[in-house]
Amino acid sequence: MTDAAANLQGDGGLRWQEAAISAIVPQTPRIKSFFFELSRPFAFRAGQHVDVRLTAPDMYQAERSYSIASAPHSQQGLELVIERLDDGEVSPFFHDVAEVGDDIELRGPIGGHFVWEVADGGPLLLLGGGSGVVPLMSMIRDRASHHSRVPVVLLFSARTFDDVLFRDELLALDARGDGFNLALALTREPVRRADDYGRRVDTAMLTELLAKLPEPPKQVFVCGSNPFVEAAADATIAAGVAASLIRTERYGG
Amino acid sequence: MVTRGFTGRQRSPDIAKRLPPGQSLTDVFPVLSAGPTPHIRTEDWSFTLKVGPKPLARWDWAQFNALPQTKQTRDIHCVTKWSKLDTPWEGVLIDDILAAAGLDAPPSQFTLAHSFDGYSTNVPTADLVGGKAMIALRYEGKPLPPDHGGPARLLVPHLYFWKSAKWVSGLQFTERDEAGFWELRGYHIYGDPWREQRFTGD
């Protein structure tokens, strides 16, 4: 068993800490990045998440889990990506109320399964739907910051070109020609790039994407809504990848 | 620490007292799992009771469905922060499985549930007997769909829901409390939502 347990503090548990919002960056019309300065910095692995806790004046508390988008060792602070859900309780607070300088309670890192580090090697097949790309982004940034040439294909399914989170950064990484390959699957708009798809994920798409890797993937990470993860994982299995190589994380839970 | 500007949603007292700390109410039924959904045909399905490495009893799908069926409506709580109230289940109580295997009392204090996809989770045996847990075969009167663990899942509603193993293939009685899949990855060894035992050390 190579998976380490969650980050254990001296007292044997994951402690809550105050983290100040250091920057807020709009990403798409509905998604913003929040950068946090931790009062007690922790090491983490790409793919892990943190729990965030908000406390009302009557001491009512709401908790949510958010994947970490930043690479381990990033100098810009811990980046969480929060999509505004109109009927939500926590995401409207972050979008409409939270400001730079506010202290937010969080704890982490959490999760020892949906994780990757450069030493794990590849090739990697990454399948992200919407904001499900966030933990995959941490892996991609970790790879880039280590100048790793591990072959990676990222399939990113989004409604439109403008809904592609981290689009400019991903296009720039794709243009490097260092073994990272981006394919977009746009579900509500025609494609703009030759290698992209104007439809939902399917087996034929996965067969083509797998052919872009120099050898079969060592691991497959799939993250998104449940319907996306079901479709993407089933298509990957139908395209010939063993189910045991596929790790999933589902949003909306 | 009070969070500046956060008030939270209006909460009815009736619902609030049924929500453990940090949980929020959902009307949908979210799906979470560590890997792809296995599609297990009922003709390939079986359920095995083991003591340590030794198989004690085994049922195929028809035999298992012939065991006494019990209905339970329970609140469930997922460690990812959602809770769902009044979920209606039907299946075979662990008590009835033990009786069908000819056991007057459970063989040991600890149990490891195993699943067809390699998943496992540990539960103290005392939390499985006395009507507290079942192998659920139906939800809302219909066969359990694959993404919710069908054909059969363990249901231990008073613990965080990762303990209610999907695609369950059997129960193994163990001498010691042996950590399962998520318990080895930093999640709490017991997982009581009312004591907010999410992670090791909580």
pLDDT of residue A7: 45
Please report residues of B whose CB lies closer than 8 A to that of A39.
Answer: none
Asked if the structure places residue B20 within a domain, the reply is no
**Bridge-partner residues for B87, per DSSP?**
B74
Asked if the structure places residue A4 within a domain, the reply is no
Query: Are A55 and B3 within 8 A, CB to CB?
Result: yes
Query: Are A65 and B81 within 8 A, CB to CB?
Result: yes
The answer on A122 and A247 residing in a single domain is yes
Please report residues of A whose CB lies closer than 8 A to that of B1.
Answer: 18, 55, 103, 105
The answer on A197 and A171 residing in a single domain is yes
- The mean pLDDT value of chain B amounts to 96
The answer on A158 and A122 residing in a single domain is yes
Residue B163 in 3-state DSSP? helix
Tell me which long-range contacts B128-132 makes (C-beta under 8 A, separation of at least 24): B128/B94, B128/B156, B128/B171, B129/B94, B129/B95, B129/B98, B130/B95, B131/B70, B131/B93, B131/B95, B132/B94, B132/B156, B132/B158
Asked if the structure places residue A7 within a domain, the reply is no
Asked if the structure places residue A6 within a domain, the reply is no
Mean pLDDT of A188-209: 96
Query: Are A93 and B38 within 8 A, CB to CB?
Result: no
Q: How far is B24 from chain A (nearest CA, A)?
A: 7
The answer on A47 and A89 residing in a single domain is yes
pLDDT of residue A4: 40
pTM over 0.80: yes
Which residues of B lie closer than 8 Å to A, measured between beta carbons? 1-9, 11, 21-24, 28, 30-38, 78, 80-82, 117-118, 147, 181-182, 184-187, 198-202
Mean pLDDT of B168-181: 97
Q: How many CB atoms lie within 10 A of CB A80?
A: 26
Asked if the structure places residue B6 within a domain, the reply is no
pLDDT of residue A3: 38
The answer on A220 and A130 residing in a single domain is yes
The answer on A132 and A246 residing in a single domain is yes
Please report residues of A whose CB lies closer than 8 A to that of B5.
Answer: 93, 97-98, 102
Asked if the structure places residue B1 within a domain, the reply is no
Asked if the structure places residue A10 within a domain, the reply is no
Asked if the structure places residue A235 within a domain, the reply is yes
Please report residues of A whose CB lies closer than 8 A to that of B30.
Answer: 226, 250, 252-253
pLDDT at A207 over 60: yes
ipTM score: 0.90
**Domain span at B100:** 44-195
Asked if the structure places residue A166 within a domain, the reply is yes
Q: How far is A179 from chain B (nearest CA, A)?
A: 26
How far apart CA A138 and CA B10 sit, in angstroms, is 35
Please report residues of B whose CB lies closer than 8 A to that of A3.
Answer: 184-185
Mean pLDDT of A43-56: 97
Q: How far is B127 from chain A (nearest CA, A)?
A: 24
CATH of the domain at B96: 3.90.420.10
Asked if the structure places residue A2 within a domain, the reply is no
Is B100 in contact with B57 (CB distance < 8 Å)? yes
Mean pLDDT of A128-148: 97
The answer on A123 and A101 residing in a single domain is no
pLDDT at A253 over 70: no
Quote the number of domains for chain A. 2
pLDDT more than 90, % of chain B: 92
Q: Which residue does chain A place closest to B36, by CA atoms?
A: A233
Asked if the structure places residue B24 within a domain, the reply is no
**Domain span at A190:** 118-251
The answer on A135 and A91 residing in a single domain is no
Q: Which residue does chain A place closest to B202, by CA atoms?
A: A13
- The mean pLDDT value of chain A amounts to 93
The answer on A157 and A51 residing in a single domain is no
Quote the number of domains for chain B. 1
pLDDT at A8 over 70: no
Q: Which of A110, A136, A153 is the last residue of a domain?
A: A110
Residue A90: C-alpha distances to residues A65, A132, A134, B8, B25 (Å): 11, 18, 18, 8, 13
The answer on A209 and A171 residing in a single domain is yes
The answer on A143 and A102 residing in a single domain is no
Residue A228: C-alpha distances to residues A131, A251, B31 (Å): 11, 10, 12
Q: Which residue does chain B place closest to A10, by CA atoms?
A: B201
Q: Which of A110, A140, A171 is the last residue of a domain?
A: A110
Name the residue facing A11 among B2, B6, B201 (closest C-beta): B201
Asked if the structure places residue B178 within a domain, the reply is yes
**Bridge-partner residues for B88, per DSSP?**
B73
Is A131 in contact with A158 (CB distance < 8 Å)? no
Is B173 in contact with B106 (CB distance < 8 Å)? yes
Q: Which of A44, A75, A110 is the last residue of a domain?
A: A110
Asked if the structure places residue A99 within a domain, the reply is yes
pLDDT for A95-118, tens place per residue? 999 999 999 999 999 999 999 999
Query: Are A248 and B30 within 8 A, CB to CB?
Result: no
pLDDT for B109-165, tens place per residue? 999 999 999 999 999 999 999 999 999 999 999 999 999 999 999 999 999 999 999
Query: Are B37 and A97 within 8 A, CB to CB?
Result: no
Asked if the structure places residue B5 within a domain, the reply is no
Asked if the structure places residue B88 within a domain, the reply is yes
Asked if the structure places residue B9 within a domain, the reply is no
pLDDT of residue A2: 31
